[in-house]
Amino acid sequence: MDCIFCKIVKGEIPSRKLFENDRVLAFYDIQPAAPAHALVIPKKHIASMNEAEEEDRELLGELLLTAKKVAGELGIAESGYRLINNVGPDSGQIVFHIHIHVLGGEKLGGLNVKS
């Protein structure tokens, strides 16, 4: 598998980590669409929400709770932030490993976030 996020999880590609445990990883986006922009990913490869299974229920919840934690780490929890999960090519998903964008740091309008 040639998944860039799996390579980040394995340490084959460096990232600026914000949070990590045995199931999820959060790191700064290298092409930020807002002053504060991080990605939260599961360490387990799941291509998109369409491939998530019932057995992934707890992991998906952990992704959302980690996104909340990351917003706090980025200093945007109080002012507000946006969570984005693109699903499929028409949504703008270009990295097929489920991930949540955490964006903030300014008043957000209509952002076009791809990955």
Residue 37 is among the residues annotated as catalytic for this protein? no
pLDDT band at 49 (very low <50, low <70, confident <90, very high): very high
- Residue 113 has what pLDDT? 58
Place of tokens 């929400």: 49
* Catalytic hit among 37, 97, 99, 101: 99
Q: In 30-102, which residue ranges form alpha helices assigned H by DSSP? A: 57-74
The whole-chain average pLDDT of the chain stands at: 94
Asked if 44 and 59 count as a contact pair (C-beta separation under 8 A), the reply is yes
Domains assigned to the chain: 4-104 (3.30.428.10)
**What proportion of the chain, given as a percentage, has pLDDT over 70?**
94
CA angle 95, 48, 26 (to 5 degrees): 65
Q: Which one, of 30, 71, 62, lies nearest residue 43 by Cα?
A: 62
Output the pTM of the full model: 0.92
Asked whether residue 114 carries a pLDDT value surpassing 70, the answer given is no
Q: Is the pLDDT of residue 13 over 80?
A: yes
